[in-house]
Amino acid sequence: MALLEVKGIAKSFDGAEIIRATSFAVEPGDIVAFTSPSGSGKSTLLSMAGLLLTPDSGQILVDGGVDALSLDDKALSRLRQRLFGFVFQSTQLVGSLRAIENVTAPAGFAGKLDFDPVERAKELLVQFGLEERLYHYPAQLSVGQKRRVAVARALLLNPQIVIADEPTNDLDEESANTVADALFAYAAQGHALLYATHDAALAARAKTLMVMKDKAFVSAS
Amino acid sequence: MKQLIMHSLKMHKVQSASIAVSVALSVMILVTFGLVYGGVMQGVQKSEEQGGADVMAIPKDALQYIGDTELLYTGAPAAVYMPAEVVDKIGGAEGVVRVSPQFFGQTLNSGCCSTTGETRLIGIDTTTDFVVSGLAGADQVAALGDHGVIVGSAVGGVFNNTIKIYNEEYQVVGTMAETGTEFDSSIVADIDVVRSISRNMEGYEHYWEKHGDPSGLVSCVMLDLDDDNFDAALTSANAKINLSGVASPLVRSQIVDKSRAQLKSVFLLLLVAACLMAVVALLQLFARFFSSVWDRKSELALYRAIGASKADLRKLIAGEMGVLVGCGIVVGIILGFVAQTALLGVLRDGLSFPYVALGPAQSFALELAVVIVFVLVSALSIIWPLRQIGRLDPSTAMQQGDID
């Protein structure tokens, strides 16, 4: 059963067509890469797939056929929280929160959890080699470390799908590999990974490659 | 959520503290105003309910030493005297139902007596009294004798039902009901007992040289007028008092009205100040949360992206406000109770009025009313910022950089 089914979603801004009807489905274990030139709409597509942005047309089905776009704000928010973990292009860490507080932030809106979010955050940060940086503020971290904190935050609530927008952008090779390995390892545990990249090597690691053709993303295969 | 609320407050320490202080000050003013206003109104009402004299005849020159409201509300703080014959002269006036003289003795303190604080000694004519009888009971007044006293509700220093005045022990035969005036800090004894104590009082010789022996003197005469024919009785009593040549009339209702008018201006000023402070607090809260939502658009969009619903964000902002306003209210209520004493002191420096402190239930009702006012003020100030949150686009998180 597909975790996520995107059917013919399209988006325009101020009359300019950005994404033409695009469809794809995501199943557990899937790793899907989206490649296209910068500014062509990868982030917009991922925002729509991640239910952050409402498409102008099309359908997004979850949980075996539930139309996510018909849900009210509360239900949509809870669904987004349960289904997706986001790694944003520019990390989006809150500067006034320490690394561990940034990672536990999603738990603040998740209601009662069956695990201790602080312990889980520590585990993740230690796993990403940040055991010495738990209580550092983002300004005290390198770009690579910040990106790892952002990945830890995305994984905190064990989402079924991780959506990563240029996750290795601006990183040195070692940091890029650490981040990418963490994301691929998570997907390998029965989750799914959708990511946008213009790094050919990173794109090549995906099971499915989606490329832009006539403003629509289609499978390269 | 709690962590994020506290984090945000910590991040805007100065702004948060200034808002909490502003709310606390507004609450303090409202609570102080409410407590003092309520206490005074209760005092005035009690004073009216307890009846007492409609008119007080005092020595002609007494108002040179003391104000009329002070004479009415502060018991007998002045050593003013006139011949006792005035009682008969006034008593015959048409419409005067009862007449009773009083003799003001000295102010007692712990240096001379067992009393604590300044306590006034007043002598009453037990055969004609109707003022103290109304407060302590006619039987108690009748039981005074040569060694009995009736104490005001705030008089301290009573041991084994006795009180010591200049080495003499007096039996406490009754306690007066609270009046909210300095009468509460007075001791009442038979008029001849007080005259006798005063006669030998060091420093009082010049009074007796001037006015004669205390046995022939009174300090005031209390008059009870016919309620059914009050205006005519008042005119007649005033005329008789003035004709006596030694006394002037103090009309209770006129003094109460004058005192009310004076207090009305003070309370109006306080109420305006409290309302202005509440408006300032409202504007500050609005500005703080409007700019907060605007400045933190990226942060809030991120929270939306990681699972917060619009309602969650509204709870976050409302929670911040709740903490600030809650702290302000608690501190303000405490300060209000403290400031009440200070305000009463200031008011009593210039004005005389009865005061009966609000009871626990009334104080609680006042606090509840203030809380409701500030909950409404907070709700008003946060409506617009909360509407802004509804317009936040979670996809903004995809496009923004790091969040400061």
Name the residue facing A47 among B3, B303, B395 (closest C-beta): B395
Which of A43, A94, A149, A163 to probe by mutation at the B interface, max B CB count within 10 Å? A94
User: Which CA distances in Å does B219 have to B65, B77, B83, B104?
Assistant: 13, 11, 9, 6
CB-based contact B147:B160 (threshold 8 Å): no
> Does residue A123 register a pLDDT over 90?
yes
Which positions 55-84 of A are in contact with B (Cβ < 8 Å)? 73-74, 76-78, 80-81
Is A111 inside a domain boundary?
yes
> Does residue B144 register a pLDDT over 80?
yes
Contact (CB<8Å) B397/A52 = yes
Q: What distance in Å separates the CA atoms of residue A23 and residue A214, rounded to the nearest whole number? A: 14
Please, is A146 exposed, middle or buried when counting C-beta atoms within 10 Å of its C-beta (0-12, 13-18, 19+)?
buried
Contact (CB<8Å) A77/B307 = yes
Is A150 inside a domain boundary?
yes
Q: What distance in Å separates the CA atoms of residue B301 and residue B400, rounded to the nearest whole number? A: 9
Cross-strand pairs, B163: B170
Per-residue pLDDT tens for B258-309? Answer: 777 777 887 888 888 878 887 887 888 888 778 777 777 778 888 888 888 8
Interchain CB contact of B309 with A (< 8 Å): yes
Contact (CB<8Å) A90/B401 = yes
Contact list in B for residue A73 (CB cut-off 8 A) is 309-311
Q: What distance in Å separates the CA atoms of residue B81 and residue B208, rounded to the nearest whole number? A: 9
Gap from A196 CA to chain B (nearest CA, Å): 12
Per-residue pLDDT tens for A170-215? Answer: 888 888 888 899 999 999 999 999 999 988 889 999 999 999 888 8
Interchain CB contact of B295 with A (< 8 Å): no
Instruction: Report the pLDDT value the prediction gives residue B76, as an integer from 0 to 100.
Output: 47
Gap from B375 CA to chain A (nearest CA, Å): 25
Per-residue pLDDT tens for B200-220? Answer: 888 888 889 988 999 999 998
Per-residue pLDDT tens for A67-90? Answer: 999 999 889 888 998 899 999 888
- Sequence letter at residue A208: T
How many separate domains does chain A show? 1
Which of A9, A19, A74, A77 to probe by mutation at the B interface, max B CB count within 10 Å? A77
Q: What distance in Å separates the CA atoms of residue B113 and residue A35, rounded to the nearest whole number? A: 99
Interchain CB contact of B310 with A (< 8 Å): yes
Region B368-386: mean pLDDT is 85
Region A60-68: mean pLDDT is 87
Is A12 inside a domain boundary?
no
Domain limits at A196?
Answer: 28-51+72-211
Contact list in B for residue A95 (CB cut-off 8 A) is 402-404
Name the pLDDT band for B402 (thresholds 50, 70, 90): low
Region A104-112: mean pLDDT is 87
Interchain CB contact of A53 with B (< 8 Å): yes
Work out whether strand A57-62 and strand B186-190 pair parallel, antiparallel, or are unpaired: unpaired
Nearest Cα residue in chain A from B315: A109
**Hey, what are B44's tokens?**
């005035």
H or E stretch at B30: helix B13-49
Name the pLDDT band for B72 (thresholds 50, 70, 90): low
Region B34-46: mean pLDDT is 81
Ordered DSSP codes for chain A: --SEEEEEEEEEETTEEEEEEEEEEE-TT-EEEEE-STTSSHHHHHHHHTTSS--SEEEEEETTTEEGGGS-HHHHHHHHHHHEEEE-TT---BTTS-HHHHHHGGGGGS-S-SS-HHHHHHHHHHHTT-TT-TT--GGGS-HHHHHHHHHHHHHTT--SEEEEESTTTT--HHHHHHHHHHHHHHHHTT-EEEEE---HHHHHT-SEEEEEETTEEEE--
Instruction: Report the pLDDT value the prediction gives residue B50, as an integer from 0 to 100.
Output: 63
Contact list in B for residue A157 (CB cut-off 8 A) is 307
Region B176-204: mean pLDDT is 86
**Hey, what are B388's tokens?**
């802004």
Find the length of chain A. Answer: 221
Q: What is the largest CA-CA distance in chain A?
A: 49
Which of B398, B402, B404 to probe by mutation at the A interface, max A CB count within 10 Å? B398
Q: What distance in Å separates the CA atoms of residue A164 and residue A46, rounded to the nearest whole number? A: 8
Contact (CB<8Å) A80/B307 = yes
Is A110 inside a domain boundary?
yes
> Does residue B109 register a pLDDT over 50?
yes
CATH number at residue A144: 3.40.50.300
Contact list in A for residue B307 (CB cut-off 8 A) is 77-78, 80-81, 106, 109-110, 157
Nearest Cα residue in chain B from A79: B307
Instruction: Report the pLDDT value the prediction gives residue B190, as an integer from 0 to 100.
Output: 94
Gap from B310 CA to chain A (nearest CA, Å): 7
Q: What distance in Å separates the CA atoms of residue A10 and residue A72, rounded to the nearest whole number? A: 21
- Sequence letter at residue A114: D
Q: How much of chain B, in percent, has pLDDT values that exceed 70?
A: 92
Between A37 and B45, the more confident residue is A37
Interchain CB contact of A160 with B (< 8 Å): no
Q: What is the CB-side half-sphere exposure of residue B138 using CA atoms within 13 A?
A: 4
Is A2 inside a domain boundary?
no
Contact (CB<8Å) B403/A43 = no
Contact (CB<8Å) B3/A106 = no
Size of interface A-B (CB pairs under 8 A): 96
Region B345-372: mean pLDDT is 81
Which of A81, A109, A137 to probe by mutation at the B interface, max B CB count within 10 Å? A109
Work out whether strand B148-151 and strand B168-175 pair parallel, antiparallel, or are unpaired: parallel
Contact (CB<8Å) A108/B402 = no
Contact list in B for residue A146 (CB cut-off 8 A) is 402
Contact (CB<8Å) B303/A74 = no
CB-based contact B179:B72 (threshold 8 Å): no
Contact (CB<8Å) A77/B309 = yes
Interchain CB contact of A142 with B (< 8 Å): no
Work out whether strand B55-59 and strand B220-225 pair parallel, antiparallel, or are unpaired: antiparallel
Nearest Cα residue in chain B from A48: B395
Nearest Cα residue in chain B from A86: B306
Per-residue pLDDT tens for A5-57? Answer: 999 999 998 888 889 999 999 999 999 999 988 878 888 899 999 998 899 99
Contact (CB<8Å) A97/B298 = no
Q: What distance in Å separates the CA atoms of residue B390 and residue B301, rounded to the nearest whole number? A: 11
Residue B259 neighbours by CB under 8 Å, 6+ apart: B44, B69, B72, B73, B351, B352, B353
Q: What distance in Å separates the CA atoms of residue B54 and residue B47, rounded to the nearest whole number? A: 12
CB-based contact B68:B250 (threshold 8 Å): yes
Is A125 inside a domain boundary?
yes
Is A8 inside a domain boundary?
no
Look at residue B309 and give its three-state secondary structure.
coil
Name the pLDDT band for B71 (thresholds 50, 70, 90): low
